[in-house]
Amino acid sequence: MNEPADRRMLEALVCPVTNAVLTYDAEKQELISKAAHLAFPIRDGIPIMLVSEARQLD
């Protein structure tokens, strides 16, 4: 069962590659780094901030 991530916690996170601000995509449960062109997954309410787990954006 996926629980919604805490917005305040998400707002405090930055991209581990660029240190840029992340955008929260509630529908896909991802944190988007436009600067790095990566989408970091959120699993069971926990952001997975590993580059190896991120999805490359087009």
pLDDT at 12: 84
Residue 1 in this model has a pLDDT that exceeds 60 = no
Q: Where are the beta strands (DSSP E) in the chain?
A: 23-25, 30-33, 38-43, 46-47, 55-56
CATH 1.20.81.30 fits 7-56, yes or no: no
- pLDDT tens digits along 14-24: 999 999 999 99
The predicted structure's pLDDT at residue 5 = 62
CB distance 44 to 2 below 8 Å:
yes
Domain definitions of the chain by residue range? 7-56
pTM of structure: 0.85
